[in-house]
Structures are given as C-alpha cells and as structure tokens.
Amino acid sequence: MKNLRDVWSSRFMHYIGEVQKYMQFIFTGHIAIVLVFLIGAGGYQYSEWLKVVQTDFPAEVLIAVIIGILLAFSRPTTLLREPDQVYLLPLESKMSLYFSKALAWTFWSQVWIVAIVYIVSIPLLKAVTELTTVEIWTIFLLTIVLKYLSVRGEFSYRYSERGQMVWVDRFIRAVIFAATIYMGLHAQLLLAVIATVISVVYMMVFSKKSVGEPVPYEHFVKLEQNRMMSFYRFANYFTDVPHLHGSIRRRSWMDWLYKFVPYGKENAQKYLVFRTFIRTDDHFYLWVRLTAISAIIAAFVDIPVVTWIVAGALSFATTIQLKQALLSSGEFRMDMLYPLPDHARQLAVKQIVRLAMITQAIVVGLCAMTQPMFYIAFIIVLVISELTSKVSK
C-alpha cells in the first residue's frame, strides 16, 4: 500500500464484495415478490388515504420529526480493523485523508434513505399545505445539506468524546434538525437558515475540540465490528454465515411453555428442540420477525389478495428456514449418548415447526379479522407451511 488512499480503496472493495456475497441470498425470488407486493399495496393505501386526508392533518410536525430522527442517526462507516490500533499509529497525523474517504461513503450510503422518505412525503405536503413546488424542493436540498452536517457532526463528536453519551448528541441534533425542517415547511426560510447555522456551530464545537486529540481507534474499531455483526446477523436469517455464532438467551419468562411437552422418554428430543428454538436468538427472532411482518400486513393492508400472498410467502420462508436451522445442528449434543431412534430428532423438529406455524397462523388470522374472509389467511399459512414441511428435505 502506497498511502492511506490505497488502504481505503482496498478495504472498500473487500467490504462491497462481502456485502454483495450475502445480499444475493437475502434478495431471493420469494423475498422479491413480497417486496413488490408490499410496495404496491403500501403505495395504493397511501394514495387512497391522500384522497380523504383532512387539511388540518399535522403533516409538517410528523415529517419534521421523522426526518429529524433519520438525520440524527449518522453512524460513521470507517472500515477500521483491530490491528489498526497498532499498525496505523505511525500514520495518525495523516488519518484525515482516510477519514475524509470514510465520511464521503458514510454520507452517500445514508442520504438516500432520508431522500426517499422526503420524496414519499411530497404528495402529503401538496395535499395539506400551500407550499409551492420550488419551496418543497428547496427544503429537499436543505435536508441533504443537514445530512452532510449530521455525518460530520456525529464523527466529530465520537472523535472528541470517544463515543461517550452519543445518544445525547443525537437527541440534540434531532431536535435542531426537526426544528429546521419544521420552519422550512412553514415557509419560514430565514428561521430555517438560522437553525442551520446553529447546527453548524454545534458541529464546529466538537470539530475544534477533536483537534490534537489522538485517534480513538478502539471506539471506531468496536463501532465497525458491531455494524458488521448486525449485518451478518441479518444475513444469517437468509443463509448460513460460517463465522457467525448465534447467541443464546435464557428467556426464563417463557419457561412455562415447556410444560406443554409431556414428561417422558419418547418426548426427550421434542423437549430439547423446543428449548433450542426458544433460547436461540437466530431461530426465535426469525419466527418473531416474519410473523410480525405478516401480522402488520394483515392488519393494515385492506387488500385481501395481497394479505394472502404475503402470508403464504412468509409462511413458506418461516417453515423452510426454521426446519433447516433446527436440523442443521451438527455439533455434539448430549442426547447423542442415549439410545434414541435415529428419526426422533426429525420428528421432533417437524412437530415444533408445526406448532410454531399454527401460532403464526392464529396471529395472522386475528390481525386479518377486519378483512372479508379473514379465515383464508389462517388457512393459507397452515396449508403452505404443512406442504413446505413435507416437501422440503
């Protein structure tokens, strides 16, 4: 490596390759279908709601708060690694070049989220406010500027304060940004500019405070490790991540569920599989997340066909992933020492998955009660899950 620019380029290419490797497993066929229906159904519901929305709806407050919160969360992506705490120490005085590249990527990788949310809110602004097109897009440009300031501000705060009490910094920036957007949406551009200047001054305080301070390698390395670990945990719900080990939690508040497995030698595997499902974060949160998505769609989307398709797709995804996860435990287990039938674990996994899917069907069915023929969602979840369990290996 000739300089820090090459170091960043090398790590950035490795990072992009790592993300692409797992994204191809995340956005598979059935997930793409679900996303298409979710976006279509959400757009239809939104357009229908805009036809009847009241002119006194507090759109300015709602949009300002949401945008302010999104702007405040600007965690820097540095791609630093643990050995950098030693090997990059001689180059500490030149790290500004590396961090400028990191902050540029942080800005471009996060600004699109804020941009999409604001663009989606434009029809609402036109429906309930008297803002002109020029004023709306001026506020959009202001939002982009605020995002840049937020990225620089959070980095400077983390640099100078070593990440201590970062939630206080985020809260202050969220309030300032929300106030700025709110004033802009009320066509008080002068006050919006003043609030923007305040945010610049706030950022400069920590920027000047960080001058002369040593690079907080330990904090940035830990931040980067946590960020990548979150991505790997998310990817692990869709495919196996070899270097990721799922965490185990006691969840004593769910111990009463184990009483539903009768005590007896013939239920030993069923009891063990049930405990594995409840205690393993990867398995348990997989079921919780997909069930919650189906339930939310069933509760808020008034298009029965969309509800049925989403419920069927997610029941298929839940069943096949739970079954494979519970059967793929290849490490040594104490039950291997006991003379249990070879097919006992397969049968136990099948029973636990069926129980989980019956629970999911009940939740989705109850959330769909406001729709006509709500019971069809319940039937679809049960039928799809049972067929998937029988056909899959």
More confident of the two residues 133 and 333? 133
The answer to whether the beta carbons of residues 206 and 156 sit under 8 Å apart is yes
- What's the CA dihedral at 29, 33, 34, 37 to 10 degrees? 170
- The conformational region for residue 187 under phi > 0 = left, psi -120 to 50 = alpha, else beta, is left
Is the per-residue pLDDT at 30 higher than 80?
A: no
Is the per-residue pLDDT at 366 higher than 60?
A: yes
Instruction: Write down the pLDDT at residue 332.
Output: 53
Angstrom distances, CA of residue 258 to CA of 163, 289, 310, 321, 325:
42, 22, 31, 22, 20
Instruction: Write down the pLDDT at residue 48.
Output: 86
Give 3-state DSSP helix, strand, coil % of the chain, rounded to 5: 80, 0, 20
Query: What global pTM score does this model have?
Result: 0.74
Render pLDDT for 241-256 as a digit per residue (tens, 0 to 9).
Answer: 766 666 777 788 788 8
For residue 109, the tally of other CB atoms under 10 A from its CB is 11
Share of the chain above pLDDT 90, in %: 37
Tokens 């201590």 found at: 164
CA 317/CA 324 separation, integer angstroms: 11
More confident of the two residues 102 and 34? 102
Q: Could you tell me which of 326, 333, 332, 293 has the C-alpha nearest to residue 309?
A: 293
Q: How many residues does the chain have?
A: 393
Q: Could you tell me which residues are beta bridge partners of residue 68?
A: none
Residue 333 — very low, low, confident or very high, per pLDDT cuts 50/70/90? Answer: low
| Number of Cα atoms under 13 Å in the Cβ half of residue 328 | 13
Render pLDDT for 170-198 as a digit per residue (tens, 0 to 9).
Answer: 999 999 999 999 999 987 888 888 988 99
Angstrom distances, CA of residue 94 to CA of 77, 180, 215, 221:
18, 35, 11, 18
Render pLDDT for 291-303 as a digit per residue (tens, 0 to 9).
Answer: 998 898 888 877 8
Q: CA triplet 129, 131, 135: central angle to 5 degrees?
A: 150
Angstrom distances, CA of residue 234 to CA of 172, 247, 289:
30, 13, 11
Residue 370 — very low, low, confident or very high, per pLDDT cuts 50/70/90? Answer: confident
Is the per-residue pLDDT at 377 higher than 80?
A: yes
Amino acid code (one letter) for 96: S
